[in-house]
Amino acid sequence: SRIKDVQFVKSSPRPKECPKDDRPEFAILGRSNVGKSSLINSLVRKKELALTSKKPGKTQLINHFLVNKSWYLVDLPGYGFAKAPEAAKTDWSSFTKGYFLNRSTLVAVLLLIDASVPPQRIDLDCANWLGRNNIPITFVFTKCDKMKVAKGKIPDENIKDFQEIIKQNYKQHPPWIMTSSVTGLGRDELLLHVSQLRNY
Ligand code: GDP
């Protein structure tokens, strides 16, 4: 389950323009600042994989990266920018929802959740929306190395709280993986998980 090769394939402004290809894909998304770029770079073991669509206000793009010539890692625009204008927030919904509902090669969504903060409404809303639409998700908790928190709870406790809430909406709890881009925790587990889902 090593990543030997990653090629940037395409940035698509609309779901309809995504690559026409039947290779399986995994979409990665989460709140702005959740640690998505750090995680992708740690998975790929590259410091500066060209990542676009990072900043609010920029064109929202669906970015396809082909991994080992066999599956796509799809970087979706982040959500929950504190300062994004209302229009940009609404834009996210129709845009990203269109992708989720129409992409037949989508195997699962890797939903990034910051374990260094308590459960956030917007993450729960996103998870519940995906669940209602029968889109498989894997929770990828980020920043699990963070032990010094100014206020509140450590990652383990935040993760438990998050799962308690999620349990109420899912018959079966989606798979979840704890990661840290600082220590490399969960990196191999996540790649193994992806390869198992692909071969399922
Ligand atoms: P993105 O906006 O989701 O792409 O988030 P970034 O990857 O840019 O990370 C946002 C902030 O969180 C940066 O200051 C990172 O250094 C920090 N960060 C990201 N991943 C981790 C992690 O695993 N552990 C810790 N302690 N900090 C992290």
Flag the least confident range among 83-92, 153-162, 166-175, 183-192.
83-92
Q: What are 9-60's pLDDT values in tens digits?
A: 999 988 999 999 999 999 999 998 999 999 998 888 765 565 544 555 455 7
Q: Are 152 and 120 in contact (CB under 8 A)?
A: no
Range of the domain at 104: 6-199
Task: Give strand ranges (E) for 80-196.
Answer: 106-114, 137-142, 176-178
> Is any atom of ligand 1 closer than 6 Å to the C-beta of 146?
yes
Within a domain: 173: yes
Within a domain: 27: yes
Number of domains in the chain: 1
pTM for the whole structure: 0.91
Within a domain: 1: no
> Is any atom of ligand 1 closer than 6 Å to the C-beta of 35?
yes
> Is any atom of ligand 1 closer than 6 Å to the C-beta of 180?
yes
Q: Are 121 and 150 in contact (CB under 8 A)?
A: no
pLDDT band at 171 (very low <50, low <70, confident <90, very high): confident
What three-state secondary structure class fits 30?
Answer: strand
